[in-house]
Structure 1
Amino acid sequence: MYESSASIIAVDPTAQNSLLKDTVLTAPPLPQGAVQEVLHSQNIVNNIINSLEKSSLSPEVIREISGDLKKELSANVFKRVEVRARLDPQQRGVYEISAQGETPEAARLLAETSVAALLAWDTARAKQGVTRSLESLQAQLKNLTERIESVDEPLERESLLSARGQLLQNLSQLVVLETAATGTLIPVADAVAPNRPVSPRPLRNAALAGLLSLFLVTGLVLLSDSLRRRVNGTEDLLPLGLPVLAQLPLLRRRHLAAGFLPAAHSGPLYEGIGFLRINVQSMLGNREHRRLVISSSYPGEGKSSTTAALAESLGAAGQKVLVIDADLRRPTQLKVWSPDRIGTHPLLGTDLTLPPATTVTEMFLRPDAAYATRVGTNVDLLPAGTPHRGDGAGGILSQPAFRTYLDRWAQGYDYVLIDTPPMLGLPDTLAVAPYTDGVILVVEGGKTRLNDVERSLQNARVANVKMLGIVLNKIARTSDTYYAYGPETTGAAPVLPAVRD
């Protein structure tokens, strides 16, 4: 392959003397990245191909270049024609247009036609306003001429003739401006046929291979370092400035034999869920319809099982709790609760004459027919239903109507716990959280990276979402933790389940 380059300069259209400003129409300055986007647009690529087809290159070379240009356009990855810019903050400077071809002449012609197509586009954008004005004046002139031909009264005819003369004068001035219109790009150096190919080049490739090896080793070192920056304990979370509301142990398989929620009734998980419940009640006080969003940075950290365990603990303390499974793409709540029999009952304000809507998706479409599923003592669930794919699920949660329905569904409950998708994977949590008292972030000990927790908190700050605290989940129990005082003191410790959420 051979490579040829041509240069153009971007000038400041305001840097003209007063005489030129009155006689020459210039295009406005180009914004950053405009030349790259234009040169790799469908219209410009088509113009380049049309020019090459009229050139003296062989049909085989033309077909090869045209095919590559079309493929690159579809893939949005460009190698045949590239732009290198050296610009100042005002976007003034030099653009180098480089092109690759199978022969020296093919490379030169490709660079030359690329520059020509770019300059033609730049000139055309300078003429756009004048062209529209010309079309408007020509339409006015046509209308005025028709009126003159139909008027017999001398005074009115003379007035119309005067107006027509002014229009003709304006038209002639616009024609001059259109002819003199110029863009902000000016050719500097023409493309020349290269005398040496740019590939293959064995020495360069060997050097690149050496550099690649160096970068690979460096990358492995950095990767190893990043893997060590895991959240292993509360001390790692102190710099984040959020309270750790609970530490939940990693349960052994024998603790989960009867299911996750039964494991929370006693043993190493019992105390941690109790601390979480007390801290939540203390933070939110006694106001009505308290709402919490529970999420995580990534799937599998235990947000859904933490939501269920907190709901059951609040229900056992006499609080009426509504759990909403808002993870519409990967619903988990119904699996965590695993009720023997599913019984439903209408929410407040439901029209009993309508067929029941028993999932979040159905309730959004038919809010007057909402029914909750009873899953535990004082605990009701609005299950997500069939998993969604694509953008439809997130669209439901981000619509303004969701807040209205949330207000309706919350009636009659002391707490509403909303299980949302992971914060770094989907924007759903940030869409729902503004309608609640805040977000509790579940972090898996020994696995979740600290910088991922920081990214989740940063996203929440940008979206003006309140973060209430962190639940450190699946941590290894040690002999000096409060878990040693629980009703079961044997076996390993810390929380969340075999359920992947």
Structure 2
Amino acid sequence: MQPSPSRVPDADQIDLKQVFGTLRRYAPWLLLAPVLAAGGTYALSKRQPPVYEATTSVIALDNDAQNSVINNTLVTAPPLPQGAVDQVVHSRSLVRDVVARLKKTDIDPAVIRKISGDLENELASGTFSRLKVRARLDTQQRGVYELRARGETPHAAQQLAQVGVESLIAWDNNRAKQGVIRSRNSLQAQLRDLGVRIQATPVNSLERQSLVAAQGSVLQNLSQVAVLETAASGTLVLVADSVEPRAPVSPRPLRNAALAGLLALFLSVGGALLTDSLRRRVNGSEDLLPLGLPVLGQLPLLRRRDLGQGFVQASQNGPLYEGIGFLRINVQSLLQRGTHRRLVMSSAYPSEGKSSVTAALAQSMGASGLKVLVIDADLRRPSQSKVWGVERGSRQPLPGTDPTLPPAATLSEIFLRPEAGYVTRVAENVDLLPAGAPLRGAGMPTMLNQPTFRSHLERWSEGYDFVLIDSPPMLSLPDTLAVAPFTEGVMLVVEAGKTRLSDVERTIQNARVANVPILGFVVNKIARQSSSYYYAYGYGSEGQAGSRTSSPQP
């Protein structure tokens, strides 16, 4: 038997070649998805109305002066804590003040209503985009607050930023006046109370004179409080007025399209790799070992120039010769006890190379001195005639043929006239019984299910060492399960990098249900490495490794 490769890849390692192979298989979708996503995003972005953004800024200062006289005549607000300005800008009272100030500007009333509605909705939802605050402060809460405002037009954005900062500064100044206003209200209440008491006391009485003196003191304090109220100020000072923006901040069709395209590419690549991992493919013999069946051969993927004269010719020399030789020896060892050894060649799906492998194996057996009969039982898609070039062969009678009758040279004709059966000599010691023209209809499967097929097969096998039957794919048609019971079993051709392991398992399960033995696998179209080969010694040099590009192997 052919030895398995000495080194089995670790399942935990990432096979970059397999990854790139997967991406190459999904390349059309991987290219189409980003293009569609980018194009759709660009079209949607172009349809969105533009949004402009204007900025203005205020600075938070410490109002303590070095002059004691100034400090005694000024009332300043305490420093604002972290996050206070952002909370104020997004408070209902400030929003109402902003809307009231906007109504006094020359902005379109419809735009004002839209801004007002958005501000109210943002208060309810807790997410803000019309007015935003960005703070750059030191540890003592001193620094710059940047106010950003968005509008439907450059003028609307500029005006919204301006009235926003005006409302903020007005709130800060009003915060500084709150203590002075409370003092004024208290002094005014004292003054009213003294007035009432003075009116209730006798003229020229000592008590009245005392109340009048107290009233004068309160009036003096009240006048000082009025001065302090006028001079009261907050900690925020305007730094930069807002300016009308020249370009919108959104939408940005090109940027959005690029981001959407990249996201679609990443998602599609991830989806392709995930799908491929869930639908694991056979990449080598190590993937088939857990199935408990031998790998009888491993055949390389041929370059297009290697197939110039056909697959059979390519198997006689070059990189395919060695693999076919191993396959022949393994098959002979496996079936050495049989008298007329019959073997079915099949696959899970079409285009995995079963017909080419059948022809190459037959040629190798014939060259070693064995007499081989190849039967093309794939009646729907016959390939052996094309592989061999039957028109160049000579006809040979099958055992039991009446030479006086017109020859029946195809499988379909022989079923109708079995006594006139002929085969075509296609190579040394190799005869071919072609399927004939592709058949369609319900009568075709019954041909292989007829009880006479077994007797025909036994008669045709006389005089041959091996009979190789090229049958349809096992997951596509039931014909293989009808033919295989009359043989030693099925050899399954598996295409590396394409056939899913789950499909191989399903094929084996179907064969077991039908009591059909699977003799082993042939791993076909294995991509060759540039520095090594898959067998113990290489037939070709490194220069023969070439690229993966090839013609399909039928």
TM-score, normalised relative to structure 2:
0.49
Give, in angstroms, the shift of residue 484 of structure 1: 5.3
Paired residue for 2:484? 433
Tell me if structure 2 keeps the 8 A contact 1:483–1:489.
no
Partner Cα distance (1:283, 1:295) in 2:
17
Paired position in structure 2 for 1:378 = 429
C-alpha distance after superposition, 1:278-314 (max 9, x if no partner): 0000011143210000000000000000000000000
In structure 1, the gaps of 5 or more residues are: 1-215
Query: What is the distance in 1 between the residues matched to 2:465 and 2:300?
Result: 27
Q: Is the 8 A contact 1:293 1:438 kept in 2?
A: yes
Match for residue 332 of structure 1 among 380, 383, 397:
383
Counterparts of residues 490-501 of structure 1 (less than 5 Å):
490-492=543-545, 498=551, 501=554
Distance 1:495 1:269 in 2: 14
1:242 and 2:293 equivalent?
yes
Query: 1 CA distance for matches of 2:299 and 2:311?
Result: 13
Distance 1:488 1:393 in 2: 47
CA shift for structure 1 position 374: 0.5
Matched, 1:299 2:343: no
Alignment counterpart, residue 343 of structure 1, candidates 394, 412, 415 = 394
Could you tell me which of 496, 511, 527 is aligned with 1:445? 496
Could you tell me how far 1:348 is from its partner in structure 2?
1.1
Match for 1:309: what amino acid? Answer: A
Matched, 1:456 2:507: yes
The 5-angstrom pairing of residues 233-272 of structure 1 reads 233-272=284-323
Kindly state the Cα deviation for residue 493 of structure 1 after the two structures are TM-superposed.
6.9
Q: Is the 1:344–1:374 Cα contact (8 Å) retained in structure 2?
A: yes
Residue aligning to 1:230: 281
Tell me how large the CA RMSD over aligned residues is. Answer: 2.4
**Contact 1:249 / 1:269 at 8 angstroms: preserved in 2?**
yes
> Partners of 1:438 and 1:465 in 2: how far apart?
6
Summarize the alignment of residues 56-75 of structure 1 with structure 2, pairs less than 5 Å apart: none
- Aligned-residue offset at 1:481: 2.4
When residues 488 and 328 of structure 1 are mapped into structure 2, their CA distance, relative to the original with a 3 A threshold, is farther
Deviation at 1:490, TM superposition (A): 2.5
Q: How far apart are 1:390 and its partner, in Å?
A: 2.4
Distance 1:327 1:223, change over 3 A: farther
Aligned to 2:535: 482
* 8 Å CA contact retained: 1:473, 1:496: no
In the alignment, does 2:461 pair up with 1:396?
Answer: no
Residue 225 of structure 1: how far off its partner (Å): 4.0
Query: d(CA) in 2 for partners of 1:340 and 1:350?
Result: 21
- Contact 1:248/1:495 (CA < 8 Å) preserved in 2? no
Q: CA deviation at 1:398?
A: 1.1
Q: Alignment partner for residue 362 of structure 1, among 403, 407, 413? A: 413
CA deviation vs aligned residue, 1:330-357 (integer Å, no higher than 9, x gap): 0000100114623112111111111110
One-letter code aligned to 2:551: A
Q: How many Å separate the matches in 2 of 1:395 and 1:461?
A: 22
Per the TM alignment, residue 400 of structure 1 is displaced from its structure 2 partner at its CA by 1.1
> Who is 2:520 aligned against?
469
Aligned with residue 277 of structure 1, among 314, 324, 328: 328
Letter matched to residue 441 of structure 2: G
Q: Deviations over 1:193-242 (max 9, x none)?
A: xxxxxxxxxxxxxxxxxxxxxxx99x967971456511011111111111
Distance, in Å, in 1 between the alignment partners of 2:549 and 2:461 is 27
Tell me if structure 2 keeps the 8 A contact 1:245–1:471: yes
SS at match of 1:287: coil
The answer as to whether partners of 2:279 and 2:502 remain within 8 angstroms in 1 is: no
Q: How many Å separate the matches in 2 of 1:405 and 1:495? A: 42
Match of 1:405 in 2: 456
Deviation at 1:247, TM superposition (A): 0.5
Give the secondary-structure state (helix, strand or coil) at the position aligned to 2:485. helix
Contact 1:268 1:489 in 2 (8 A): no
Q: Alpha carbons of 1:353 and 1:369: their partners in 2 closer, same or farther (altered >3 Å)?
A: same
Structure 1 residue 475 displacement after superposition = 0.4
How far does the alpha carbon of each residue in 1:162-210 deviate from its partner, in whole angstroms, 9 at most, with x for none?
Answer: xxxxxxxxxxxxxxxxxxxxxxxxxxxxxxxxxxxxxxxxxxxxxxxxx
Shift of 1:477: 1.5
Tell me which amino acid in the other structure corresponds to 1:425.
S
What CA deviation, in whole Å up to 9, does each residue of 1:418-446 have, x standing for no partner? 00000000000000000001100000000
Structure 2 letter corresponding to 1:397: L
Aligned counterparts of 1:349 and 1:446: Cα–Cα separation in 2? 45
Show CA shifts across 1:89-124 (max 9, x none). xxxxxxxxxxxxxxxxxxxxxxxxxxxxxxxxxxxx
Take 1:226 and 1:358, find their aligned partners in 2: how far apart are those partners? 47
How far apart, CA to CA, are the structure 1 residues paired with 2:331 and 2:388?
A: 21
Q: 1:427-469 CA deviation, whole Å, 9 max, x = no partner?
A: 0000000000110000000000000000100000000001100
The C-alpha deviation readout for 1:233-264, integer Å capped at 9, x for no partner, is 11111111110001000000111112111111
Identity %: 66
Q: Partner residue of 2:84?
A: none
Tell me the distance in 1 between the aligned counterparts of 2:459 and 2:379: 20
The one-character-per-residue Cα deviations of 1:33-71 (angstroms, maximum 9, x if unpaired) are xxxxxxxxxxxxxxxxxxxxxxxxxxxxxxxxxxxxxxx
* Count of residue correspondences: 285
CA, structure 1 residues 497+350, in 2 after alignment: closer, same or farther (shift >3 Å)?
A: farther
Contact 2:303 2:551 in 1 (8 A): no
For 2:522 and 2:319, how far apart are their aligned partners in 1?
15
Query: 1:105 maps to what in 2?
Result: none
